[in-house]
Amino acid sequence: ATFTPPKAIRGGIPVLFPQYANTGPLPSHGFARNRFWTIDNNPSPDIPEIPNGVSVDFLLKSTDEDLKIWPHSFEFRSRVTLTSDGDLILASCIRNIDAAGKPFTFTFGHHPYFKVSDISNVEVKGMAKLDYLDQTQNRTRFTENKDTITFNINSRFDRIYLSTPDKIKILDHGNKRTFVVQKDGFPDAVVWNPGEERAKTIEDLGEGEYRYFVAVEPVVVEKPVTLNPGEKWNARMELSTRC
């Protein structure tokens, strides 16, 4: 990965706010993933407590730099929790604190990268019969006709599935392991792997590394969120691994 700002760090779980990809006028995936967050030592009750775990709270507020490209004052709180069962939970709360009384609209997402044995041994379940926007074809709308998503190592896979279930499973047959993505507040989900040719154009991917991850991303894309001053929006993603 490249760790030099303003380059986004590839890996982990990037936060996509206030724009998913290039769906608006901002740089791709917005600016939150490129900012330094502060630890919030006085957690807000806007995010419910999560039992049986240890948490750290982060806070991001709009800066003068942000206001130049997105003129809206916001407060973004994120609680990261590791439970006693080994599950990872990201709970988010975004509030409009605009003193001028202006509403704002945003799209949002998390972009987790899941390490797998080989993309050819992976299946994603939960998308059967759903409509999706194919990002390899200018977001043309189609309907998924397969019960299980599989991948061709030579082809880019990049789809926004719409009105998805709250639970999505990633089956890694090579490692005999299943990832479970549980989500609340995220109506949509992206499934992505760059494939061989596209991976060659990504400078912070090593040769052949595209084969060893898949991204399954809880997102809000089709129907953006609008907040009036004082209003808040909450969402939650929970990741677990079962062998």
Find residue 117's DSSP bridge partners.
none
SS in 3 state form for 112-133? CEEECCCHHHEEEECCCCCEEE
Residue of 49, 111, 197, 207 with catalytic role: 111
pLDDT for residue 50: 84
Active site residue 231: no
Convert the pLDDT of each residue in 146-191 to its tens digit.
Answer: 999 999 988 999 999 999 999 999 999 999 999 999 999 999 999 9
Residue of 217, 222, 231, 238 with catalytic role: 217
pLDDT band for position 49 (50/70/90)?
A: confident
**Mean pLDDT across 83-94:** 96
Report DSSP letters for 143-203, one per residue: E---SEE---TTS-EEEEE-S--SEEEEEETTTTEEEEEEEES--EEEEEE-HHHHHTT-T
Does 243 have pLDDT greater than 80? no
Bridging pattern class, strands 213-227 and 104-110: antiparallel
Bridging pattern class, strands 157-161 and 131-134: antiparallel
pLDDT for residue 11: 79
Residue 237 near residue 89, CB atoms below 8 Å: yes
User: How buried is 220 (Cβ within 10 angstroms: 0-12 exposed, 13-18 middle, 19+ buried)?
Assistant: buried
pLDDT for residue 6: 79
Active site residue 110: no
**Mean pLDDT across 41-59:** 91
Does 195 have pLDDT greater than 80? yes
Does 12 have pLDDT greater than 90? no
Is the whole-model pTM more than 0.75?
yes
Residue 147: which residues within 8 A CB-CB, separation 6 or more? Answer: 125, 128
Does 9 have pLDDT greater than 90? no
Task: Quote the CA–CA distance of 57 and 50 in Å, as a whole number.
Answer: 12
Average pLDDT, the chain: 95
Coil, helix or strand for 213?
A: strand
Number of neighbours of residue 101 by Cβ within 10 angstroms: 9
Question: Which residue's structure tokens are 């003068």?
Answer: 64
pLDDT for residue 223: 97
- Tokens encoding 94: 């975004």
State the DSSP H helix or E strand holding residue 219, giving kind and residue range, or none if neither: strand 213-227
